[in-house]
Amino acid sequence: MQTRFKTFGSNSAVRKVTPWLVLSLVFPAILLFNAFFLSVFPSRAVIDGKSTPLQEAMNPSSYLAQSAYVYYTRDPNQLFGNFYYTLGTQLAARGQILSAETMLGKAVKLLPQDSYAHMNYGIVLEALQKYPEAVTQYQEAIRLDPKMVQAYYSLGLLYDKTGSLDMGLETLQKAVDLAPQNNFINYDIGVLYAKKGNYAKSAYYSQKAVEGGSEFAEAYNNYGYALAQMGKYDEALKAVEKSLTLKPESAAALDSKGYALYGLGRYSDALTAYTDALKLDPTIGEIYLHLGQAYEKLKNYDQSVKAYETYLQMTPDATDKADVETKIKQLKLQLTSHNPK
């Protein structure tokens, strides 16, 4: 009768089993050390010599793909690769971005076919502003897994961040096609369509984001802004008021509110909204443009000129620069005619 088990000599058995026995003992010990190490490591990222809060660099709860250690494998590359991947992901979640880069860099070398390793490595590279390398990692993750929504999403946002709006839209469209009910993806593609000037599509996707997340203040604001740009001022005002109910201290939402009120001919109310927005955030150049328009409608030409000039100072590359400069000249002529020397 043929036996089902192949036997080895004692020396051969020891030689084959010992390395894996050692690894099975060593890696749990490393895991325990890792837990201790992370518990005493401060949760801050050090980028360009500065200590930066994690949330300023990345949002691991939204983007990082977590995984567990895999000890029981006969492939050393898989064993060590999983260790580096998990440690790197944990470090990134703790805000130790530079250390995470080292660990995840080792992981992708040992696990070249692991789409999640490439994606997480891309997230860390992006946090370190190594954008071309991050693009490469996201693209590789997508090549390995054409249905990886997270990779499409991260890549689309990175394209937009680096000035490739059309590529960002194309990539986010693939993400939303794969996850049509994801309110975050719907929100972000709505923002990109607004940048593109396609307010109908911006309103469509922003509305889907609102429907998918009833407490999504930013989505309500973007929805209202798109509606206002389409001339639907009453609907826009309702959406923006909902945004402000959820997040009262939002300069962007107050600006959108002012834009809707301006469209309804309520210029004094619009002026109040714009002024309140600038109190919260005086660095948003576009609000000064809207402020100038409100002052102009109220025939306060002196304040209108100051607001327009501030807008041009803050946004020297504005696409409407020539139109605003012409407007300033016209208003100054009016001021001169009303106040002759």
Least confident of 44-58, 69-83, 103-117, 279-293: 44-58
> Residue 86 domain-assigned?
yes
Domain assignment of residue 87, given as a range: 27-179
pLDDT score at 47: 37
pLDDT at 244 over 90: yes
Give the helix ranges, DSSP H, for the chain.
10-40, 54-57, 60-63, 76-94, 97-110, 115-127, 131-144, 149-161, 165-178, 183-196, 199-212, 217-229, 233-246, 251-263, 267-280, 285-297, 301-314, 321-338
Least confident of 82-86, 163-167, 334-338: 334-338
> Residue 16 domain-assigned?
no
Could you identify the residue written with the tokens 């990082």? 64
> Residue 21 domain-assigned?
no
> Residue 275 domain-assigned?
no
Task: Determine the Cα–Cα distance for residues 122 and 117; give it in Å rounded to an integer.
Answer: 9
> Residue 134 domain-assigned?
yes
Q: Decide which of 335 and 197 is more confident.
A: 197
Q: What global pTM score does this model have?
A: 0.76
User: Taking residues 248-267, what's their average pLDDT?
Assistant: 96
> Residue 128 domain-assigned?
yes
Could you identify the residue written with the tokens 């975050």? 184
The confidence band for 65, taking pLDDT boundaries of 50, 70 and 90, is low
Does residue 194 contact residue 172 with C-beta atoms inside 8 Å? no
User: Taking residues 45-67, what's their average pLDDT?
Assistant: 41
The confidence band for 78, taking pLDDT boundaries of 50, 70 and 90, is confident
> Residue 31 domain-assigned?
yes
pLDDT at 301 over 90: yes
All residues at 6 or more sequence positions from 142 whose CB lies less than 8 Å from its CB, including other chains: 115, 148, 151, 152, 155
The confidence band for 10, taking pLDDT boundaries of 50, 70 and 90, is very low
Query: How many distinct structural domains can be found in the chain?
Result: 1
pLDDT at 3 over 90: no
pLDDT score at 64: 57
> Residue 43 domain-assigned?
yes
